[in-house]
Structure 1
Amino acid sequence: MPEIYESIAQHYHERTKYDPETLAGKSQQLDWAKQPVPFKEYKIGSDFDLKPYLQEHPDTFTHNSDAKWWQRLSKLLFHSYGLTAKMPSMGSAVYLRSAPSAGGLYPAEVYLVSRGTPLLPAGLYNYQCRTHSLKQFWESDVWTNLQSACFWHPSLESTQLAIVTTAVFYRSAWRYEDRAYRRIFLDTGHLLGNIELAGAITDFRPHLIGGFIDEAVNNMLYIDPQQEGATVVIALADLLDIKQNLPLGKTALPSSTDIEYPSIPDGKLLKYFHLHTQITAEETGKKNLNLVKPEKSLEDKYNFPFCEKFSTATTPIDWGRNLSSLENTMYKRRSTRAYSDENLTFDELKALLDFTYQPENYLEQNLDTTPDYFDLNLIETFIAVSGVKGLDSGCYYYAPKAQELRQIRFKNFRRELHFLCLGQELGRDAKAVIFHTADLKAAIDKYGDRVYRYLHLDAGHLGQKLNLAAISLNLGVSGIGGFFDDQVNDVLGIPADEAVLYITTLGRPR
């Protein structure tokens, strides 16, 4: 029985916190002989080469509808998870992808499920990013199985394609041990951010499904649940087919809350936690898919008394004709390794926040104005400013509904940020550091322990949009998943019930 924690999600979060007293005594030595390969390879199956459709000029296939469809699918997958660079490393090579991953470990796998179209036969496909191809490893129709596993989600009724993302646990756990579960879902959230924006570029609308019977999806994909597990199902609506212009559906379903768990040894916690955040077939009758997508709350959570307020309303980022600048930004995105001494401007910070949190401002650029998240009402944003022209140093709460920053502490936190980010120079030298947080207990009360997935997926999704906005403005940006959890709240004045999920550092690249 647990000693003090109410559920396995709270227990996991407490157990995987970094603390300066305990972390200093750990000296993990990586076993490089056991470094995981970040690619899955299928020896048997049919290959569908997508490389010929990655053309510099998008009008190349205008008069060939079949080739145009292949080009759209090719670009969707490439901009979501394709290889964008090859870097030398320790006598070999590291392949970078369009979505960032902690430690370059890339735990996510991308599968495509086809209902059966004239161009893509029914069956299961794995996206092979090294060759930018689809490997069909199962040729039978499994669409009904997918619908059943997703409780007959309405977005799967008319669509012909779906993406399923999975996590190969060891890829992250090799380095980050039990805390890797946080990073796995942050990394998958980055991928979801790319899929959202790549869908806008290629006329697909992704519909996120977080509530599904885990065992059924794992079995459908023929994966070993001890090594790999399904994380998100995404129905891909083709916006050029009027029958697939679908209403928004519910993205998140609750799981049970586990309060009777045994003593779990280190190294076993990650897999135990994943197993106990699953939805089982026995819970089918408990799910209500008629519930609509969560409405945005009308007011921001915090309105601290006597704090100074600064409007963040601004002109949207221009992503170019046919979103060409967005395509280029997704291709060239890199995590920054060092920041210069030059400050940011308040206008730049406002542009970053506008793109990330105000999608309704991008209607004229044909971006989705109501993209899917699992429940953004659960996520709060705080910003530590140490070098932004037009803003005093301090900690601010970002109120997305009011579109304003509310200052809650007056101090330059550079030295403290260096400490909070485990001594990383990125924390010390960044000019603004964005913290995504959530009231974990309240979130569990709403969605059960499975909400831990949803929170980190949404935080990673927001983080990826911050990444892309920063790169488009020629700024430096890097996400940080390792930090002293409790000390963040103490130092910055963030309410104690806000669990820190993710940190994004911003500055000018050195």
Structure 2
Amino acid sequence: MSDVHPSIAQHYHQRTKYDPETINQRGRALDFSQQPVPFKTYKVGTEIDLKPYLEGEPVTDPQMRQRQRLSHLLYHSYGVTAVVPYPNNPFYMRAAPSAGGLYPAEIYLIAREDAVLPTGLYNYQVQTHSLWRFWDNQVWSALEEACLWHPALASTQVVLVITAVFWRSAWRYEDRAYRRIFLDSGHLLGNIELAAAMNDYRPHLMGGFVDEALNQLLYLDEDQEGAIAAIALADLLEINQNLQPTPTALPSETDTSYPEILDGELLHYCHEASEVYALDAAYPKDRLILCAEDKYNFPFCLKVPTTSEPIQWGDSLTELATTIRGRRSTRRFTGDAITLPDLSALLDFTYHPEHYQDQGLDPQPDTFDLSLIQTFVAVSDVTGLEAGCYYYAAQAKELRQIRFKNFRRELHYLCLQQDLGRDAAAVVFHTADLGVAIATYGDRAYRYLHMDAGYLGQRLNLAAIRLQLGVSGIAGFFDDHVNEVLGIPTDEAVLYITTLGQPPAS
């Protein structure tokens, strides 16, 4: 048995780090004939086709209008936005990005009595943009129990549940897939929040629930798939569903006594160890909105203001919808500069949703705990900004320089020799102190941190596309070398990287 330190989440993070001396030993040839299919199918049930509700002007019939809004919400969250016609196996690109195009997340919908849909359980069939009703009984009371009587469930009628099909991602990324699964799910949560605002919904995020109970309610095979987030979908056109912000996170236990775990078993062990088991756990009645303080104020550093005018998303957020549908991960940068105003606008949209209330976006969207996430920016070529590594002080709205150097060559190396790191104009690093996070939320913090990092990454993605910049997320990097080379404090574990730059001319 291990001693009492570290926790399983910390152990997992250490075990799944990439290191230059060992990374080639981890690789294995992929058999693409065995790649998991990124769609679920059911043999029994009924289909509700949502495609007819995507086209045309808003309808006047109340029930039809509700289905139209729901159709648009699901499509702009995770729908198929392009099809690449490979022979015998077309590739379906979705509204939310996914590492390697593996799409490990699934969306389920639970409808209460008198909801827009008949009572029951549904799976969102991405490929056909439809809902498959595979259970027709009322399960809302069981849902409330599984979600520990979250206050939003008392007033809402529809819940979305995000699950992870582990092998879809682990097939390629092995144990480190656990990180990517939650980053991908964070991308999806970011889309759901914005798509909800476009369609007069307000999502209330729930990260704390009794895993086994919610998995059983959805008839999941827990060896293959597990619930990772739930969202009570409040209809803002119904006055009784205009709720105050509600709590989002509950802690799990912290496992500090675990056996030796073999490679290939670490992902599942970590997931099970971070489950919530106690049916007597309870959410607080109200959500406390914390204003996260800027963690670092390095002495004598250069401080560059990043105050920016909000990005304009068009009347009724039409440009936001267009951006979501047109978002693509950039495969190559030209190496040319971006401007400081553009970088400032990207950071403003990502970290200051309160600046977008006048455009119809939520000024206080749900996340798990962004106070735990720190942001550093490695600048290679930003017009009006000296090259180097900066800490982004979100509350002060300024970049604080901690290293004075152009890091292009090092970024190429740190990002596993991907040209995106070398040719990017700026590279954003999201980090967290794992010890502090686990002390607050137990091992479940690892889920929350990566979903929050993915959420921030998706906001960066969309802002960059709107500004006609290139953008791509990177979840594979030499973990410890990032801190050493860029001067990021060693307590900060790197969660996610977003590269920004100029795309090739189309």
TM superposition score normalised by structure 2: 0.98
Partner letter of residue 480 of structure 1? I
Contact in 2 for aligned 1:155/1:235 (Cα 8 Å): yes
Q: Report the aligned-residue RMSD.
A: 1.2
Q: Please give the secondary structure, in 1, of the residue aligned with 2:145.
A: helix
Q: 1:234 aligns with which of 231, 234, 251?
A: 231
Whether the 8 Å CA contact 1:346–1:388 is kept in 2: the answer is: yes
- Is the partner of 1:42 in helix, strand or coil? coil
**How far, CA to CA, are the matches of 2:179 and 2:217 in structure 1?**
25
Q: 1:435 aligns with which of 412, 429, 435?
A: 429
Which residue in 1 is equivalent to 2:183?
A: 186
Q: Secondary structure at the match of 2:233?
A: strand
Q: Which secondary structure does the structure 2 equivalent of 1:76 belong to?
A: helix
Secondary structure of the residue that 2:161 maps to in structure 1? strand
Runs of 5+ unmatched residues, structure 1: none
* Higher mean C-alpha deviation, range 23-32 or range 383-392: 23-32
Name the aligned partner's letter for residue 397 of structure 2.
Q
Q: Contact between 2:4 and 2:257, CA under 8 Å: does it hold in 1?
A: no
Shift of 1:291: 5.5
Indicate whether 1:295 and 2:295 are aligned. no
Distance across 2 between alignment mates of 1:452 and 1:18: 18
2:102 is the alignment partner of 1:108: no
Secondary structure of the structure 1 residue equivalent to 2:85: strand
How far, CA to CA, are the matches of 2:75 and 2:196 in structure 1? 11
Report the CA distance between 1:91 and its aligned residue: 5.1
1:340-399: CA deviation from partner (whole Å, max 9, x where unpaired) = 132100010011001000001011101000000000000000000001000000000001
Which among 78, 81, 87 is matched to residue 84 of structure 1?
81
Equivalent pair of 2:150/2:283 in contact (CA under 8 Å): no
Cα deviation digits, residues 83-108 of structure 1 (max 9, x gap): 00111346521100000000000000
Q: Distance in 2 between matches of 1:487 and 1:30?
A: 27
Contact 2:151–2:285 (CA<8 Å) still a contact in 1? no
Q: Decide whether the 8 Å contact of 1:151 with 1:289 is kept in 2.
A: no
2:446 to 428, 447, 452: 452
Task: Describe the SS at the equivalent of 2:195.
Answer: helix
Conserved? CA contact 1:178–1:269, under 8 Å: yes
Q: State the distance in 2 between where 1:117 and 1:276 align.
A: 37
Question: Which residues in structure 2 correspond to 1:172-321 (within 5 Å)?
Answer: 172-280=169-277, 283-290=278-285, 292-297=287-292, 299-321=293-315
Alpha-carbon distance in structure 2 between the residues aligned to 1:118 and 1:500: 42
1:354 aligns with 2:351: no
Counterpart check, 1:504 vs 2:498: yes
Corresponding letter in the other structure for 1:344: I
Per the TM alignment, residue 25 of structure 1 is displaced from its structure 2 partner at its CA by 2.8
Residues 245 and 286 of structure 2 are in contact (CA less than 8 Å); yes or no, is this contact kept in structure 1?
no
- Asked if 2 retains the 8 angstrom alpha-carbon contact of 1:418 and 1:426, the reply is yes
User: How far did 1:34 drift?
Assistant: 1.4
Aligned 1:354-373 pairs, distance under 5 A: 354-373=348-367
Amino acid across the alignment from 1:19: D
Q: Residue by residue, what CA displacement relative to the aligned partner does 1:145-182 show, whole Å, maximum 9, x if unpaired?
A: 11111110001100000000000000000000000000
What per-residue deviation string (whole Å, max 9, x for no partner) do you get for residues 252-288 of structure 1? Answer: 00000001100000001001111110000xx233445
Aligned position for 2:389: 395
Please tell me whether the aligned partners of residues 429 and 494 of structure 2 are also in contact (alpha carbons under 8 angstroms). yes
The separation in 2 between residues aligned to 1:119 and 1:176, in whole angstroms, is 39
Q: Partners of 2:493 and 2:155 in 1: how far apart?
A: 39
Structure 2 counterpart of 1:2: 2
Alignment partner, residue 162 of structure 2: 165
Q: Which amino acid aligns with 2:470?
A: G
Equivalent pair of 1:76/1:195 in contact (CA under 8 Å): yes
Aligned in 2, Cα 1:179/1:90: closer, same or farther, shift over 3 Å? farther
Q: Quote the offset at 1:65 in angstroms.
A: 1.9
Counterpart pick for 1:124 among 121, 125, 136: 121
Shift of 1:419: 0.4
Aligned residue number for residue 484 of structure 2: 490
Contact 1:250 1:294 in 2 (8 A): no
Using the TM superposition, give the Cα deviation of residue 306 of structure 1 relative to its aligned residue in structure 2, in angstroms. 0.4
Structure 1 residue 290 displacement after superposition: 3.1
Choose 369-378 or 24-33, whichever is displaced more.
24-33
**1:24, 1:49 → 2: CA distance?**
47
Which secondary structure state, in structure 2, belongs to the residue aligned with residue 445 of structure 1? helix
Structure 1 residues 60 and 245, CA, compared in 2 at 3 Å: closer, same or farther?
closer
CA contact (8 A) 2:145 2:279 kept: no
TM-aligned CA deviation for residue 463 of structure 1: 0.3
Work out the CA distance in 2 between the residues paired with 1:32 and 1:468.
30
Structure 1 residue 41 displacement after superposition: 0.5
Query: Which residue number corresponds to residue 139 of structure 1?
Result: 136
User: Which residue is 2:54 aligned to?
Assistant: 54
Q: Find the aligned partners of 1:301 and 1:118 in 2 and give their Cα distance.
A: 44
Deviation at 1:198, TM superposition (A): 0.1
Unmatched segments (≥5 aa) in structure 2: none
- The alignment status of 1:154 with 2:151, answered yes or no, reads yes
* Structure 1 residue matching 2:249: 3-state secondary structure: coil
SS of the residue 1:95 aligns to: strand
Residues 28-69 of structure 1: per-residue CA shift (max 9 Å, x gap):
1112221100000011111111000102x4x341x2222211
State the AA in 1 paired with 2:373.
I
Q: 2:404 aligns with which of 403, 407, 410?
A: 410
Q: Deviations over 1:394-453 (max 9, x none)?
A: 000001101110001000000000000001000110000000000000100011000000
The percentage of aligned residue pairs carrying the same residue is 62
Deviation, 1:294, is 4.5
Please say if 1:40 is aligned against 2:40.
yes
The count of aligned residue pairs is 504
Partner of 2:29: 29
- State the Cα distance separating 1:140 from its structure 2 match: 0.3
CA–CA distance in 2 between the matches of 1:70 and 1:323? 19
Secondary structure of 1:427's counterpart equals: helix
Q: Could you list the per-position Cα deviations for residues 110-154 of structure 1 after superposition, in whole angstroms to 9, with x for gaps in the alignment?
A: 000000226411110000011100000000001111111111000
SS for the counterpart of 2:22 is: helix
1:341 and 1:450 mapped to 2: Cα distance?
A: 39
* Preserved CA contact (<8 Å) 2:473 2:496: yes
Residue of structure 2 in register with 1:338 after alignment: 332
